[in-house]
Structure formats: C-alpha cells, structure tokens
Amino acid sequence: MIKELTTYINGIQKQFPLSNFIKEPARGLHIMFEVKNNEVRLYKKELYLPKKGEEGKISDYLVRECMPRELHINYIDSHKAMVGKEGKKIHSASPYALKIRKKSFDEEWKSWYPGKKVPKEEKQSVEKKAKLAKEFRRNEQKIALADLINTKISITSDRIRELVDRYFTKSNEVCLNKEDSETLTFQKYLITHLPSFLINNSDDLLKLAKDDNIFILIKNKSEEEYYKANENYLKTSIFNENTYNKTLPDELFGLSGYLNTASDKKIYLKHLTANFDINYRIPQTQALLLYTFERYRQAKAFKTNPLPIFIDKTELNNNVIDVVREEGNDVKFNTIIRKLFDHSKEDLGNYYLLYFDYRGELKDLDFVSSFEFKLEGLIIKKVIPFVKSEEDFRVKNVFDFELKITKQIFSNQLVKISNDKIQYRYFDGIDNNPKYISAAQWNVVMKYRKSFYDWVYKSRRKAVTTTMFHDILNKMILDDIRADEYKDGYHSKKKDIETKLNIWFSLWNYFSNITQSNELDMANKITELQKKMRLIRDIKGNDHIETDEEFAFTVGQIIYFLLDKSKAGNKSHALLEPFIQKSNIVELKKAITATFNAYKHEIDFGKGRFEKLFSEIMAYELDKNLKELTPIMLAGYFSNSTIYETSTTK
C-alpha cells in the first residue's frame, strides 16, 4: 500500500503543486520583517480574520509574500517541535520564521513558567488586572484588556526570549547548511525585541481568537530558500523514532510516522514475545512522500471520493491523474471509472480505494481485487400501479444502481440530491434531527450504508443480502406510510411508496446467492395476482382464493376500498398502518370488520364485486405467518382497485 500511495502522490505533486489547494491564508496576524544595511525594520503586518464560513478579502501582500513562505515553515507535529516539550509553543520549524498561537501570550501565559509556577507577586498583578477588566465596558474594557495582555507578556518576557533563542539555535543547526548574516540579524532582533514588539501591537493581538496564529517572517529569503530549510528539518524528523533508523547502502530507513506510532513506551501495545522491536521500516523518500500526502489531505486536495490507486499499473494511475487534471480535483469516482473503461474495456481491479470526508479525514481504506462496472439483466418493472411494460426501466451499471435504486430506497437520505447536486453520505456524520430525517430513516441509513458502499464501489456482491434488502424496504415503506399527508386529492408519499414497492418486487431475490426460478419472480407474481383478482371478483365465476398470497392481496384491495369510502378530509395512507401491524388473522379480520361497519352506509352493494371479495377473505384460513405477507398486502392496497375497474379492464 505504501509503495502505491507514495507513487501516486509523487505523480500528483508534479501535476498539482500543494499551493494550488491553499486558497486562503491561515487566520491570524501576518508580520514580515526586512533586513537592510544590517538593520531590521518592519516591512508589513496584516490581520486576516474572515468570518466563520466566509472567505475574507485577501491582499496581494498575503497572496504573494506570506502564503508561499508560510507553506514551508510548519513542524510535523508537536512531538517534532524544535526544542522539546517547552518548544511546543512554537509551531514552526524554520530559521526564517516564528509561528505562535495567540493564547500562548494570553490564556496560557502561565505555561511559560516551569510547572506553571508563577511568582506570587506577578500572579497577583495579573489577577488584579483581569478582575478590573471584567468591571469595565466597551472602550474602557478594551484598554484594560490591552493592559492585561501587555502585563502577561512583560512578566514572561525573559522566558519568551530564552525559548526563542533556543528555537533559532536549534533551527539553524538542523535547517541551514551555512548561516548568513541576514538570518542571524533577523533572529537576534526577535530574541531581543519580540516581547516589546508584541506589547506595542497589543491592539492587533486583542482582535485574535485564542487559537489564531501570529506569523513572523523574514522577507529577504525566497520561497525556494524557505522550502530547502524546511526540507532539511523534515529529513531529520520524518521518522517516528530516530532510534529505529538504519542506514543501508543507498538510503536511510526508519519507522514511518504516518498513521503509525512507536509502542516502546506503551507496554499494552508491545509484542512482548517478539524478538524484534519493529517489523517494518520504509525508506526516507517514501516517508517524506507520506508526509506530503498528509499535507495534501489537510488542504482538502482529495475531493475525488472514493479515490482509486492502482497496484503495479502506472499507466492507469497516470490516467487517473489526467482525469483529475481535466475535470478538477472534485471529479467523481464514477467519472474516473467511465473514462478508464474508455481506455480498457475489461473490468478494472487490483487497486486501493480511499475515502475522505469533507474535512479531508481518511474514513475508509480497502483493497479491491476486481471492479464490476456493468450490471446485466437488472430491470425494474413498474407493476404498481399496473401500467404498460414500456415504463419498465433498466439499470445498466453500478452508478445507475446508486442513483436509481440506492437513492430511492433510502428516501434520498444516503444518496441525496439537493439543488441539482449529488451528495454521498456513506461516511458523513448525519444529525438525527427529526426536522430533516425520521428516526426510521436515520437508523436504516446508519445500519446499512457501509454495506451499500462496499457493494457499489468494491463490487462485494455479498455485502448486501436479501435479508438486509427486505428489512430496508419494509421499514422505509412503512415510514413513508406514516408520513403520508392527504391534501387536495393528492397523497404526498404516493410516488415514493409506489417506487419503493416496484424496486422491492423487481429485486426480490436479486441479492440472494442462490439462483431463483421464474416462479419466485415477485414482480411477475404481483402481475398474476392482479389478474387473479379480476377472476375472483366476478360474481358469476367459480374462482376463489386458493393461496395465502391471493388472500393477502385481496385484503389490501378491500382495505383500500373501505378507507376510500371515508368522507373525512384526511384520507392519508397512514390509516393503513393499524392493519399492517396486526400479528394474526383473527385480529386483522376484526379490524376489517370494524372498518366495514364504519363505512357500510357509503357502499353500493348492487355490483357484487366488493361482496364477493369480502366474503372470500372472511372465509379463508391462513397457513403462513401474517407478517410474511405484508409486502403482498401492500401490493394489493397500492395496485389499481379491481373493485372500481370497468368491466373491459384486463
């Protein structure tokens, strides 16, 4: 996996520099000094504090001067800070820059003291001014807060200078092949004057949130020089623990720090019986590329979800990169696959599949041995309400399946279309807010979404089972029935229910691993039941209910007919739910009889169709469990009513 991932990111960074994905500066105060004639002067400073969710106005100074340099000053993580534990306050790793969070000078000012042990006099001074600041309002409070932060910086100034001195000494040692006078002049200035400079700019500091950063850069050094200095730091710090490093003839090998940790200090993670410390080392070049991959991830560069990385197929990986270049970094997986199939007509396979969420977090990583793009013989028959077969539709491939099947059965909650944009929520956090999603929808989506992701994107045909499929449709249709509203002669959930029923019956055995005979084709069975109802309803004929399925279908027809007789304004399909919930035939017949008694005055008994079907269900004794027949009962209810049909209907 590491080999394929690093090969891919190596190709990506050649085509798409990381700077392409850094759209705006980091929040904070961006300060730049310039050294001229052995003197340090302030070149420029600027606050960048956009409102949450908005992109602020970005000046040329930030775009051209700050952003290119700030791209190459960060440390790997706090464990790789330049000067150990105390140095974690400084988030940079460059002799040309300082990056410190505002809270280090304000909320966390005590941490400048070893063990946070602040001298009593200094502590009392700060506490007194903090209390005073709370008593003021508006302009007076602003002045008091400025005085408070200035006091904190002033009493910790010696420790600030000491840490900055140690930081630059170490960064020169690690990052520079040769020290130069401009850099040393810049560093000496900050070591001496940083506290006083911050105090003089306390108005700017007060505008920062506690997690905003203060960036201090030297203008005299180019982006390339910043890059080389940071690269030297990365080479010495890229491995998790340098104690595991081994130099082989051509390259340094060590323990990768990417999604990995050393367990030597964690007894519960150690393999106590193993005769080795670690079982895998990678070369430095790969470790650096993994770090680059992480930088791209943090910049949310990977918006192709999921992202395929092929094994030992350089041409295909290059094709993927070409598609990304042509379509943009937010190109969809299905676009990539379709274009790859244009080059290769065979099924694709042998690739790793990575899924990143909208924050850039890696949510899923898996190996796919074979990808099956096309789906043969998958037809959704429109049997409810009964119409001509020309309205059947074919599902040609897995992405067709995703939009025509997955979207529908999960009620537009898993594959979601909003404002003509498709949103895939296989790994997103979904808020269980009843205003936007019902409890049943949320439970079903969270329970089964990973299975459908594996079925579509990894071609794991056993990931979705018949039991899962029936559970989803049963719960989602019942949820639609509960939510149905009747207004102006229109049912709000009618189309959704009928669509789900057609999918359910058409794919009744599709997810079974056993080849089924045509006798068990549920879509055909529903069509045959519709025909049989026309024979049974004929009062002159000798046809009767002979099977449990015919009974359930007839029950659905009778319930629809009775509820339709209601003169009340609410004819919602939600009235069907009490019948579906009955657990045995006796209770069901009682409920039907009670409904009949409520509406019998509205029934025209002259035609005989209702009487014939009603007598048939009342006389029939059931063999199967009533719950097993719920789908057939629903089919009868939502099919065209054979009681209302004209005699010419076939």
Domain residue ranges in the chain: 22-237, 242-368, 392-506, 520-638
3-state secondary structure 90-155: ECECCCCEEEEEHHHCCCCHHHHCHHHCCCHHHHHHHHHHHHHHHHCCHHHHHHHHHHHHHHHHHH
Q: Taken in order 82, 84, 86, 88, is the CA torsion positive or negative?
A: positive
Contacts of 104 (CB under 8 A, 6+ apart): 89, 111, 112
Distinct helix (H) and strand (E) counts, the chain: 23, 16
Instruction: Output the pLDDT for position 256.
Output: 78
Output phi, psi for 538, to 5 deg.
-70, 115
Element (H, E) at 368: strand 362-368
Instruction: Output the pLDDT for position 518.
Output: 41
Residue 200 per-residue DSSP state: H
Output phi, psi for 30, to 5 deg.
-105, 115
Q: In the beta sheet, which residues pair with residue 352?
A: 309, 367
Check: CB of residue 11 under 8 Å from CB of residue 321.
yes
Only one residue has tokens 């001298």, namely 119
Q: How far apart are CA 566 and CA 571, in angstroms?
A: 7
Instruction: Output the pLDDT for position 517.
Output: 45
Where in 175-226 does DSSP place strands (E)? Answer: 213-218
Which CA distances in Å does 626 have to 582, 587, 621? 8, 11, 11
SS3 403: helix
- What distance separates the 2 farthest-apart alpha carbons in the chain? 113
Instruction: Output the pLDDT for position 390.
Output: 58
Q: How far apart are CA 132 and CA 253, in angstroms?
A: 57
Q: Name residues of the chain where pLDDT drops below 50.
A: 387, 516-519, 650
State how beta strands 421-424 and 213-218 pair: unpaired
> What is the spatial order of strands in the sheet that 282-283 belongs to?
246-247, 252-254, 282-283
Instruction: Output the pLDDT for position 261.
Output: 62
CA 105-110-116 angle, to 5 degrees, is 150
Instruction: Output the pLDDT for position 607.
Output: 67
Instruction: Output the pLDDT for position 511.
Output: 93
Q: How far apart are CA 324 and CA 344, in angstroms?
A: 18
Instruction: Output the pLDDT for position 332.
Output: 83
First-to-last C-alpha distance (Å) of the chain: 61
